[in-house]
Structure 1
Amino acid sequence: MKLLAIDGNSIMNRAFYGIKLLSNSKGQFTNALTGFMNIYLKEIGEVKPDCVAVAFDLKAPTFRHKANAAYKANRKGMPEELAQQMPVIKELLGDLGIKIVQCEGYEADDILGTLSKAAADSGNECYILTGDRDSFQLVSDRVTVRLATTKETKIYTPDRIMEEYGVTPRQMIEVKALMGDTSDNISGVKGIGEKTALSLIKQEGDVKTLYEHLADIKLTPSVRTKLENGHQDAIDSRFLAEICLEAPVDKATEFYKLGEVDTEKTKALLADLEMMRLIDRLGLSGKAVESADSAVQESKLKLSDLPKFEVKPLDESVISVLGKDKTAYFIFADNKLSILCNDVIYTTEDNAIITAFMGTACEKITFEGKTAHKFAFSNGTHLENLTFCCDLAGYLLNSQSSEYTAENLCLSYKCLYRSDMGEYADLSSLPALSENLKKQLEMTEMTKLFDDIEMPLCEVLASMEFYGVKADAEGIKAFGEDLKIKIDELTSQIYMYAGKEFNIASTKQLGEVLFEDLGLPAKKKTKSGYSTNADVLESLMDKHPIVPLIVEYRTLTKLNSTYVDGLLKLIHPDGRVHSVFKQTETRTGRISSTEPNMQNIPVRKEIGRNMRKFFVAEDGYTLLDADYSQIELRVLASVCGDKNMQEAFSEGRDIHTSTAAQVFDIPEDFVTPEMRSAAKAVNFGIIYGIGAFSLSKDIGVTVAEAKRYIKNYLDNFPKVSEFMDKTVDDGIKNGYVTTLFGRRRYIPELSASNKVLQAFGKRAAMNAPIQGAAADIIKIAMVRVYKKLREEDLDARLILQVHDELIIEAAEKDKDRAEKILKDEMENAVKLAVPMTVDVNSGRSWYEAKD
């Protein structure tokens, strides 16, 4: 048999520091749990053990502490964020049928030593998984140490220990007795390091023999003196370093055979932790869970008690009775429609039947509605009376989740997932799931947000994806050829300054050129080489002419690979790009897009802005581009109630010039462009909780000056400071902050003891209500514009949304009316304390319409 013996504390510690702090929406930290399980699943896949034991330390003092009060006395306490996760990993391992082993008076190492010896003695194999080297002394022909490191697991056998250290595994105890161990506060012999200790043990075998022959051994006077003075320390240290092989734990290897997984408890625990992907990795998705929560248990609900739905074909006779008095739960995927109505499941793959269903008057509830909307558009109709999408509800309730599958939502919101219904499990779960989600929306006061913004937006995004935007393929190819010429020119110049050819895209080779060949000042070198990230290159811009060339090279190569080669691959046979707009992706409520990512087109430089030239209107059509003016600052002025800011916006004054006048205490007529630029950076920086150091870097002033700018700003706009402080306080109190429209963002980082994480939480709390409200406003505008264009039956459609910008493709005959609708609906999407202003332009291309 194979036994995998895991050092629980060591692996949890390594996982905690190896993964950035993660948490669920309730503020429970999960990074160590995630890292531990990643390591565990990798190891069982490679070792394939029959038995698993995970050893943990207890808080009670061990025999070593009792013998030596200094033992581990220098250890700092476990971080609270890690301590919170220790009982959870034990609970999870128990639910997975894995034995937890703890023993008062003994450390986890002693348990590992005892289990490994017992396994070897009984003819079994033991693999010790740990993050430190203390267990090297346990290695034998039947005991292997698997050392978890940042990048890989290193396998230690007797041969490898001899190869690396020149001693046997048991002699590692003797080495440690001489050199000590600062992490455990084992003194060793003062002044004797690892190199000397290894040399002495190679020569004499052990500490006892070393001291017996000390007078006869050839040593330097210094080493001899250190050894003579440290004799008792060596003896004491050896006692502390040796792992006990006889801890009073069950020594029978078969006792640690993997037990049955408690699927119910495991899934409930992981759902509560919001670690949904781990459910899939553990192979538990789709497995029956009779009661995932105490509330369900109390109701005595079981899958076996629920009715099985009969499955029948969907035909015209069923469609004909789906009137307003009916509710149909449906799932449309892979061109197959399945509906649940009156306790019967009906299915079809007939396009005509599916299209007919889309137009029926019945109330429709689904899991994800955008796919069905797009099908309806492609068949010349609309999906009518869709009232609820579970994925959108799940997103509103917890925007931190990484995915919103039906099973995960059932686990999270306490209803039985109908795994007993096989391929119709998701559909069969919809009635109970949708009801639970509706109740949750009511409890969190987000029903109106859901009904008025997110649900209608689903149709708008489907329409935008369906229509797409025309791309000028020939123009993109020509642009790419020009880019390649510029890249080749840059490459030649870079090689000239470097004095040799090298791979510019290789961080290692570039670091060697910059910091070794050219002698530029480097940041600290790591094992993987020098850092050449954007911040490092920015700091070197004025140090050598090669640096700006490298920055430009990176910009152009990324533009070429992502937005030339990448974009050409995404042009459909209809000549248009159909970007995928994601409604459940960001924590703030913003819409994101992929294939391509329209939000990330690099428009700060002219060469990036040129990419807009290749998004064009069809012949006989024009593009209308409308952009909210300073939407986030207008939201801030409205919600904080600052009269100075509100007056500037209401009177149509330039807000950045007005701010500069306030900050620098001068009339607006005397504000210089540099002052306005600094004020602009402060205006937008305040929204994101910017500090003096970051502001100083952004605008090129000293930290002291930046600090003064921020202070002057907050002194002149005191309501802003009050609003930010109250928002953070509310976030700490409630665990979340809200927008004007009730959208919640949970910020568990506010409760962290880690100061860096806490500071991030405060910045997120300051920003979320502003950025989230701006996201809500643009969504409201999209819904209004879409509905108005449809109501008036114009040959015009909304095709793109990028940040605070909307783009319509309109036939020339309807251009003027569409332009008025676009401006009116955007400006009147909401009524705030300051007016929402929109600039509208038109052109044959996005570039013309924008610029």
Structure 2
Amino acid sequence: MNTQKDPIYLIDAYGLIYRFYFAFMNRPLRNSKGENVSALFGFARTIGSLLNDGAPLADKAGTLLPNRIRPDHLAVAFDSPGPTFRHQKYEAYKATRQKAPEDLHAQVPLVQQFLELLKVPLLQVPGYEADDIIATIAEQCRREGRPCYTISSDKDLLQLVGDGIYQLRPGKSTLPQEGISLELVGPEQVKAEWGVPPAKVLDILALIGDSSDNIPGVKGIGEKTAVKLMTRYGSLDEIYKNLASIEGSVGKKLAEGREMAYFSRSLIELYSTVPLPISSLDALAIHDLGTREAAQFLLQQGMKQAALFLDPEATKGLNTVGTASNPVQSGSPALSPRAPAGSSGSPAPNAPVGTSSARSALSPDTSLFGNFPGKALETESIPEQLRQPGTYRAITDLAELQTLLAKAREQGMMTLDFETNSLEAWEARVVGFSFALEAGTAYYVPVMAHQGISPYIDENQARAELQKILLDPAMTIVAHNGKYDYAVARHWGIPRWEGRIWDTMVAAWVQDPERGNYALDSLITAHLGLSTTPYDQVVPKGSTFDTINLETATAYSCEDADYTLRMKAILEPTLQAMGCLDLFRNLEMPLLPILSEMEGRGIKIEAEVLRSYGKELAGELRSIEKSIYELVGHEFNIASTKQLQDVLFKERKLQASKKTKTGYSTDVAVLEELAREDPVPAYILRYRTLAKLKSTYVDTLADQAGRDGRLHTHFVQTGTATGRLSSRDPNLQNIPIRDEEGRRIRQAFVAEPGTLLISADYSQIELVVLAHLSQDPGLIEAFLKGVDVHRRTASLIFGVPEDQVSSEQRRIAKTINFGVMYGMSAFRLSNELGISRTEAQTFINTYFTTYKGIRSFIDTTIQETERTGYSQTILGRRRYIPTINSRNKTEKAAAERVAINTPIQGSAADIVKLAMIRLDRALRKKGNPAQMLLQVHDELILECPEALAEETARLVKEEMEQAIVLRVPLRVSVETGKRWGDFH
């Protein structure tokens, strides 16, 4: 082959468009008009990566390889906008395929406009599909001896592979900074995957058909059978020549499906003589690209990072914190260019050792855009100095450190960032710390030698000087992921800080709670267009921060401190303009050290209690398995979706209701529905529940306890859009609350000898908040009189006296009471209660007739959210909802549910936080040694000496009930005991 000719790279446009649309399906990326631009973004980043550094190659397992793909000849092939020759040949071609979602279809012209501006060849021929265009070019490449690579996951294109033609299949990693990783598929890979060479893939596809394109194939012949036949006979023609020797049902199916096999083959076979709109393959050269024009187009769509990727000077002259064109991002599931995988705001378990807190393993980068539209705030100009390079140096002289820290106390503010040898803050050893007094200048203070040779300040002396700062009530300490820095300082021996904390990570979350990633590097890139130094480029894998030289350590650490101060300068006026600065200062910041103290304290856990329960669960799981096998009549892999589909829908012939890419769904909702008509789905549900509890909690919690025998969870302050706290390593929020299994797990959580646990739980706090917000007289009256709210609701709905309400009627009322605040539809209520949809709708209508104030609250909240673009809590926490005015009914309905739920659930979360702050202050003021250990939903768990349990319980109840004054008084139930599982 003449490899001197440049390879041709061909992109299957719709393959990538669909891929990125569905990758962001749950939380789509949106422009300033609220339009979904997920596919455009993914497409732009993919093209950008190809044109710049090249797209990375990965192996089949998804591991990135050193090779990269950077084309000089590139084209993007699109399907014909109208019917193709296959439709003329077969009227039912693709007839069963669901119509593309409206907001996906609307992005195709945007992608095409982007390509036209970029001057990347766009190929679309009436009457032909993109695969045929690709096949035609591939055939020309074959004749010219020119390599050709198709970027697609389409199995139909595998028939082209060979003689220099390869497929580049989008790999398992989908990276925003890379767009996609690509897996090279040649003849060997095709043979390994399909059991036949590429030229024979067409015959296999002819036998099995293609349900997505409504190509019939041979009825009853699946992939395994087709591969066996092809392995034995070598081709479709040979199979039918030897049909007489193929016995049994397979032979019968083949005989009956002969005509369909050849017809299907004619439909799947690619057409390689498409009249292309180019004179030669050289017309696909991409040397004179319109990167500036394309980048400006992306900026108009709000895609700042994607624009900068194409043109580093795309934002020159734009000096505002966000613009009207910046799109809203609903918290997408994308991945980070730099931060190790982990949960927002807390160190990740597998991140490199020795990282700084500012970059410590924040969640993958999902926030690609700036401010939301409709925020009704004046954007502040960013001073040019915030974009300038910084001046950084090490401080190894104690006197100079004292002088600089004295200056910090004079101005009352400085940033602080620790460098350590571990991501576990309460175990980490301090290597050094950096601080900044003004943007653009920062200092690094080593407290141990770098590489064992550099000068440093004595650890005890440095700690004593820093302690003066942290214990000064007049000081404001600015940090990024300050909970980590606080814990490191506490473990280092510094007492609880008296200075105020200003955490830029939490501030960014308050400003944009849907962002999903609050890593410092992500924020700096989004707001200032600056790049930061990746940790793994500074510290070799497996090494610690003290192993690098002092100069490198200084540059890296000081950058964190400097950029943190720059972010404060950006975020503070934004929060002020939003009306959220008080919530940030007076709620989130006082809570931060409380959470860190709780993490360090942990809760005692008895491993043997869990291990004993684990053995019980294992026995129960075996018993359930046996029951399932007896009902089915044979053993199968219960965890295998495919085998379960066969059992439920083929063998037991249950009615499937929801289809997925791999067949009919077997998710919880489907199994719950099927369980009404067959016992097997009910057993499967029980099996899954117990198996998950066993693997997630029972088998793992015992091993997660620290050396002190206590379990130290990590509270995530920035993990939800509603303001609720979450926890991880382990996640204690998901232990079932009311189920016996959850209680058995909580039995392992115990008080230390001589102490008791105190559980304080808000009673129906979200319904209380709903009563306050809706001002509904009936609901308020029920709470004021202290009656059973669910019984009262049932009495009103069913028109019977309260003392005659049945347990079933109360259950229905309870479901409606809680369902309303989540926007429960009649469809969902009917499924939940096992009643008809008509009956469910009647219940909902009666409910709103009974509680007119709630109906009014819902309508008003939706209208106000449509007007402003956001919903907010009692304390003013905002959640922007870009799809509230969407023309897509499904999106609009989902947005309305979020708008209704946010002020209810968000206000309840804020109240719990207020209670934690009040309680912490009250305990310290009284010198009470009781300590908060856990916060799970609306419950606080404390530990206190037995002798003080009664007194502490009264104090806890009083402080929590007085956290805020509402139209309906808050009620808290308090219990004491030795084990968490003993409560409620």
Using the size of structure 1 for normalisation, the TM-score is 0.80
Judge which range, 349-358 or 399-408, deviates more: 349-358
Contact 1:14 1:131 in 2 (8 A): no
Judge which range, 833-842 or 76-85, deviates more: 76-85
- Does 2:466 match 1:357? yes
Distance in 2 of aligned mates of 1:743 and 1:615: 34
Cα distance change, pair 112–279 in 1 and its aligned pair in 2 (3 A): farther
Structure 1 portions without partners, runs of 5+: 65-69, 173-178, 185-194, 196-200, 204-222, 225-237, 287-291
Give 1:428's aligned amino acid: D
Of 43, 49, 53, 2:74 maps to: 53
1:317 is matched with 402
Distance in 2 of aligned mates of 1:139 and 1:483: 51
User: CA RMSD for the aligned pairs?
Assistant: 4.9
- Does 2:896 match 1:762? yes
The SS at the match of 1:598 is coil
The SS at the match of 1:572 is coil
Cα distance change, pair 733–240 in 1 and its aligned pair in 2 (3 A): farther
Distance in 2 of aligned mates of 1:667 and 1:386: 55
- Does 2:800 match 1:666? yes
- Does 2:575 match 1:425? no
Distance in 2 of aligned mates of 1:556 and 1:806: 26
1:153: Cα distance to partner?
7.5
Of 765, 768, 775, 1:631 maps to: 765
1:339 is matched with 435
Give 1:599's aligned amino acid: Q
- Does 2:839 match 1:705? yes
Of 111, 115, 120, 1:100 maps to: 120
Cα distance change, pair 536–600 in 1 and its aligned pair in 2 (3 A): same
Aligned positions of 1:437-456 closer than 5 A: 437-456=571-590
Cα distance change, pair 411–245 in 1 and its aligned pair in 2 (3 A): same
Distance in 1 of aligned mates of 2:55 and 2:974: 59
Distance in 1 of aligned mates of 2:100 and 2:141: 32
Give 2:743's aligned amino acid: R
Give 2:466's aligned amino acid: F
1:227 is matched with none
Of 473, 478, 490, 1:377 maps to: 490
Contact 2:480 2:564 in 1 (8 A): yes
Cα distance change, pair 244–485 in 1 and its aligned pair in 2 (3 A): same
1:409 is matched with 523
- CA deviations 1:373-421 (Å, max 9, x no partner) are 2234332501232331010011111111221111221233347566695
The SS at the match of 2:723 is coil
Cα distance change, pair 789–510 in 1 and its aligned pair in 2 (3 A): same
Of 274, 277, 282, 1:251 maps to: 282
Aligned positions of 1:678-689 closer than 5 A: 678-689=812-823
1:251: Cα distance to partner?
1.8
- CA deviations 1:43-82 (Å, max 9, x no partner) are 7525844415242669999999xxxxx9x99999975523
State the number of aligned residues. 792
- Does 2:605 match 1:485? no
Distance in 2 of aligned mates of 1:245 and 1:461: 64
1:299: Cα distance to partner?
7.5
1:29 is matched with 36
Contact 1:113 1:245 in 2 (8 A): no
Contact 2:605 2:749 in 1 (8 A): yes
1:485: Cα distance to partner?
2.9
1:16 is matched with 21
- CA deviations 1:105-141 (Å, max 9, x no partner) are 8887797578657755664311123466897898773
- Does 2:849 match 1:842? no
1:767: Cα distance to partner?
0.9
Judge which range, 252-261 or 416-425, deviates more: 252-261
Cα distance change, pair 301–325 in 1 and its aligned pair in 2 (3 A): closer
1:615: Cα distance to partner?
0.8
Give 1:830's aligned amino acid: I
Give 2:507's aligned amino acid: A
1:832: Cα distance to partner?
0.9
Distance in 2 of aligned mates of 1:133 and 1:472: 53
1:88: Cα distance to partner?
6.0
Judge which range, 397-406 or 555-564, deviates more: 555-564
Give 1:731's aligned amino acid: T
Distance in 2 of aligned mates of 1:240 and 1:123: 20
The structure richer in helix per residue is: 1
1:86: Cα distance to partner?
4.7
Cα distance change, pair 642–501 in 1 and its aligned pair in 2 (3 A): same
Distance in 1 of aligned mates of 2:336 and 2:774: 43
Judge which range, 132-141 or 747-756, deviates more: 132-141
- CA deviations 1:714-737 (Å, max 9, x no partner) are 011111111111212222232221
What's the % identity of the aligned pairs?
Answer: 31
Contact 1:24 1:400 in 2 (8 A): no
Contact 1:476 1:568 in 2 (8 A): yes
- Does 2:4 match 1:2? no
Distance in 1 of aligned mates of 2:237 and 2:682: 55
Of 149, 153, 178, 1:127 maps to: 149
Aligned positions of 1:66-77 closer than 5 A: none
1:610: Cα distance to partner?
1.8
The SS at the match of 1:392 is helix
The SS at the match of 1:840 is strand
Contact 2:765 2:908 in 1 (8 A): yes
Distance in 2 of aligned mates of 1:477 and 1:829: 39
1:331: Cα distance to partner?
1.2
Cα distance change, pair 760–807 in 1 and its aligned pair in 2 (3 A): same
Larger radius of gyration: 1
The SS at the match of 2:928 is coil
Cα distance change, pair 518–134 in 1 and its aligned pair in 2 (3 A): closer
Structure 2 portions without partners, runs of 5+: 1-5, 59-66, 86-90, 174-181, 191-195, 215-225, 227-235, 239-257, 260-268, 296-304, 316-321, 341-357, 360-368, 372-377, 421-429, 448-457, 535-554
Aligned positions of 1:513-528 closer than 5 A: 513-516=647-650, 528=662
The SS at the match of 1:437 is helix
Contact 1:62 1:104 in 2 (8 A): no
Cα distance change, pair 754–61 in 1 and its aligned pair in 2 (3 A): closer
Distance in 2 of aligned mates of 1:20 and 1:91: 23
Distance in 1 of aligned mates of 2:171 and 2:411: 62
Cα distance change, pair 400–467 in 1 and its aligned pair in 2 (3 A): same
Give 1:409's aligned amino acid: L
1:428: Cα distance to partner?
1.7
Contact 2:75 2:120 in 1 (8 A): yes
Cα distance change, pair 246–533 in 1 and its aligned pair in 2 (3 A): closer
The SS at the match of 1:45 is strand
1:564 is matched with 698
Aligned positions of 1:792-811 closer than 5 A: 792-811=926-945
Contact 2:884 2:895 in 1 (8 A): yes
2:308 is matched with 266
Aligned positions of 1:40-439 closer than 5 A: 44-45=56-57, 48-51=68-71, 53-55=74-76, 80-82=102-104, 85-86=107-108, 100-102=120-122, 123-130=145-152, 141-144=163-166, 160=197, 162-165=199-202, 242-245=273-276, 247=278, 251=282, 255=286, 265-266=307-308, 280=337, 301=384, 305-313=388-396, 315=398, 317-318=402-403, 319=405, 322-334=408-420, 335=430, 336-341=432-437, 343-349=441-447, 352=460, 353-354=462-463, 356-360=465-469, 361=472, 362-378=475-491, 379=493, 381-414=495-528, 416=530, 421-439=555-573
Give 1:165's aligned amino acid: L
1:686: Cα distance to partner?
0.5
1:92: Cα distance to partner?
7.6
Aligned positions of 1:676-825 closer than 5 A: 676-825=810-959
1:198 is matched with none
- CA deviations 1:487-507 (Å, max 9, x no partner) are 333334434444444433333
Distance in 2 of aligned mates of 1:21 and 1:601: 24
1:265: Cα distance to partner?
3.5
Distance in 1 of aligned mates of 2:687 and 2:84: 62
The SS at the match of 1:800 is strand
Distance in 2 of aligned mates of 1:297 and 1:387: 23
1:234 is matched with none
